A and B are shown apart, each in its own frame.
Chain A
Amino acid sequence: MKKIKLIIFLISLIIPLKVFALIEVDITRGNLNPLPIAVSAIYSDKETTDALKKEIKVDQIGNEISIVIENNLRATGLFNPLEKKAFLQKPDVAHLKPRFEDWSLIKAQALITGKVEFKDEKVRVEFRLWDVLAAREILALAFTTVPNNWRRIGHIISDKIYERLTGEKGYFDTRIIYVSEEGPKTKRIKKLAIMDQDGFNIKYLTLGNELVLTPRFNPTNQMVTYLSYFKNLPRVYLLDIETGIQEVVGDFPGMTFAPRFSPDGKKIIMSFAKDGNSDIYTMDLENRIVERITNHPSIDTSPSYSPDGKFITFNSDRSGYQQIYVMKSDGSRVKRISFGNGLYGTPVWSPRGDLIAFTKLHKGKFYIGVMRTDGSGERLLTENYYQEAPSWSPNGRVLIFYRETKSNSDGEGFSAKLWSIDLTGYNERQVITETDASDPSWSSLLSN
């Protein structure tokens, strides 16, 4: 009996069955066009509009917040905010229940609606993000703050939308510290300045009496370390943004420069130059203990920690030409990672940890580029007459740097401006500042 069953089983295996296999199609390409998004004006009733107009002198607060969001999203190069004139539905109705057919008619794939209220001296802004094609809400949040913070609310909403639609954290609720420059090239007045990432709310932190360079935020964005020439001696300083108190970092018998905080904010890493030799040192901010990290007769400078604090990248001319190196945070296992033609400098480890940004000088031109942490996959993102000092956005997608223009022998025609570029290399934009600007440094997200 068993044998018969076995025979039947074998026969059933042999008899072919007419079943269609599921057809699979691999989609490996898509378009890189920015996502069409409709940012409807944030609705505010007449009472709220009038009250806020009196309070903070802003007409149409809802519309202004929506413009902040729109500009942020456009600047990423990943979104295409649609023209508001094409919108068929009013903001208040759209916020309650959008007519998705109307929004898909204007080719919007995502829709942002919102409502602003003014109660008990506070502004409450709620917003909703809708997937137009799926005809459903995919995010809804509300924020309450003092009226003067209305721009920040716009940035926080932008961050939430960016994160929901791209999967990575945003970078809009951030600040940029930089060196503001004024006057002729030969007699520049340089001040420390801080602003929102979109160029608004500029504040000057120093008066311009001393030359300042390379400001860098600490991880909590409350402290800044920078280089200042005091009595013609360049020293690394520490400045508390809230209190305005500043102090010299360490008592070094020579020049200290290129400072940067460790990822935990407990140490400052910098270069110390003496007798023509420059090495990398760290100083613990709690106990002020100084530690020597490199010990080489060459110039080692521009140190930058990896996000986990285990490695340090820096540039050195120990091979005869300035190149980029990586070592463990105690100074051991030094390894050269850049081998291309030209000189490499100002390496900065990405907050994601996967890339190192750098400045490259080759055949009289300056490039901003990125490479993997082992030196592979070098990509030059932008080329110009003079540009340097890249600094990463907190999500590791965008770099900010400064670019100088050529001037004649009298220094005329000279300018220094801030620029940003994303990792694709296509989305390059000038960051508008009141004055000329250099040495930018991006803060981490102010709100998480």
Chain B
Amino acid sequence: MPQNLLLSFLFHVSIIAIAIVSFPFIAKKPIDIPPIVSVELIQIADQTNIPFAPKAEKIIEKVKKEKEKLVSDQAPPKKVKKEKPDAIPLPDQEIEKIKKIEKDKQNPKIEDNKAKQVSEFEKKELFDPNNIAALIDKSKENFAETNIKNDEITQSDDESMKLSGLTLNEEDALKAQIFGCWSIPLGLPYNENLLVRIKLKLKPDGTVIQSEILDHARMNKPGQGFYKVLAESALRAVKLCQPLRVPTTGYEKWKDLQLNFDAREMLEG
């Protein structure tokens, strides 16, 4: 008897605990209190007793001068001579030029010397492909970050996605695209159960990786010619339409998608 009572008690406690954890709307949300920022209130006199820094004045003047120099030293744009059409090198000349370039390339010593001649300051200004690559990598990282941020479902999206997984706008866009691609075989009877369900695996850009007719066995059964024709037309529509107009976000939700093709409404007229 006391064992049963204990079990019952434990069960009830666990249910209540799980309910509190599982159903957040039961528990009252704590009010979000921003982190406390401490502020010191200091009384400032009309005249300060902080002495004027003579070093700072020098630095400021130096920077001003440098700025002025930069502006004045800017060279005017070079006048580029327009090349006459006659200046197109003859094939022989071209070959010579190519040979010359090849020579230069095949002499790495000269390049090494040049590199040594430049100062440490100028070195930084030199073209460094590694830096560019690093920049590209950085930009990729940034892009990935923004993508991750975009993948987060916003509050407005979340509300409508609770029901279908796609917002109405997204679903309409996809439907409209497939409507245009699907040529309905008009010879089909409207009074038969002809519903073709196709499961798709999609890439993030809407390209179809795999398409599978869920009731595939029906296609090869005798007397199911109409179903086969409808299924083939639906597959053609999917292939013709890709990449499908899928949302730019929430790939995990729609990477597997099921399209239900039903032509009865159209065939009935």
Contacts and interface: CB of A to CB of B under 8 A. Distances in A.
A134 B266 contact: no
B252 A20 contact: yes
A30 B175 CA distance: 9
A32 interface: yes
A137 to B, nearest CB: 13
Interface residues of A, number: 41
Given A109-B236, A133-B240, A14 B179 contact: no
Interface stretch (A21-29, A206-214, A242-250): A21-29
A22 B183 contact: no
10 contacts: A11-B18, A14-B22, A20-B252, A21-B165, A22-B199, A27-B175, A30-B182, A134-B235, A134-B239, A167-B229
Interface in B177-234: 178-188, 191, 199, 225-226, 228-230, 232-234
Size range of the interface on B? 35 or more
Nearest to B179: A29
A11 B225 CA distance: 49
Interface of B: 7, 10-11, 14-15, 18-19, 22, 164-166, 171, 174-175, 178-188, 191, 199, 225-226, 228-230, 232-237, 239-240, 252-254, 256-266, 269
A7 B259 contact: no
A26 B253 contact: no
A138 B7 CA distance: 67
A15 interface: yes
Contact of A166 (B175, B188, B199, B254): B188
Contact of A30 (B7, B187, B232, B237): B237
Given A3-B7, A11-B18, A24-B260, A133 B164 contact: no
A31 B18 contact: no
Interface in A76-120: 78, 109
A23 B225 contact: no
A16 interface: yes
A168 B174 CA distance: 30
Contact of B182 (A27, A167, A168): A27
A30 B183 contact: yes
B14 A166 contact: no
A20 B233 CA distance: 29
Contacts of A38: none
Interface string A9-47: 011001110001111111111111111000000000000
Contacts of A431: none
A165 interface: yes
Contacts of A163: 225
A397 interface: yes
Given A24-B258, A35-B183, A29 B266 contact: yes
Contacts of A424: 186, 269
B269 A25 contact: no
B259 A32 contact: no
A397 B266 CA distance: 16
B180 A31 contact: yes
B260 A165 contact: no
A24 B14 CA distance: 37
B257 A25 contact: yes
Contact of B236 (A25, A28, A29, A133): A133
Nearest to B244: A25
Contact of A33 (B19, B183, B253): B183
Contact of B186 (A16, A28, A29, A32): A32
B186 A166 contact: yes
A27 B261 contact: yes
Given A11-B14, A14-B19, A131-B232, A27 B178 contact: yes
